[in-house]
Amino acid sequence: MQSFPVDQYSKELFVKQGIPQSNGNTWQMFIYPKKFTYRMIREGREFRVDFDLTKPITPPAAPWGYNDE
């Protein structure tokens, strides 16, 4: 697990955008052999998404104008 607490730049940006409650955010990533978890926590709130790494998906086509050179 790796945690990323909100930095000073982001705190100032959240205040400017009118969402100072985000100043307590901590983002986390968990990496397991078969699962990747993204989590955001702060006082009174938790958001979590689990990705199943055992089920590959077909990536979408390259966007218009993309050049792989």
Decide if 41 is inside a domain: yes
Decide if 48 is inside a domain: yes
Decide if 65 is inside a domain: no
- Which pLDDT does position 62 carry in this prediction? 85
C-alpha to C-alpha distance for 26 and 2, rounded to whole angstroms: 10
Decide if 68 is inside a domain: no
Domain hosting 45: range is: 2-52
Along the 69 residues of the chain, how does pLDDT read in single tens digits? 999 999 999 999 999 999 999 999 999 999 999 999 999 999 999 999 999 999 999 999 888 888 877
Decide if 43 is inside a domain: yes
Residue 6: closest CA among 37, 40, 29, 30:
40
- Which pLDDT does position 32 carry in this prediction? 96
- Which pLDDT does position 38 carry in this prediction? 97
Decide if 60 is inside a domain: no
Number of domains in the chain: 1
Q: Residue 28 burial by CB count (10 A; 0-12/13-18/19+): exposed, middle or buried?
A: middle
* Cα 53 to Cα 9, 34, 39, 66, distances in angstroms: 33, 5, 16, 27
Decide if 24 is inside a domain: yes
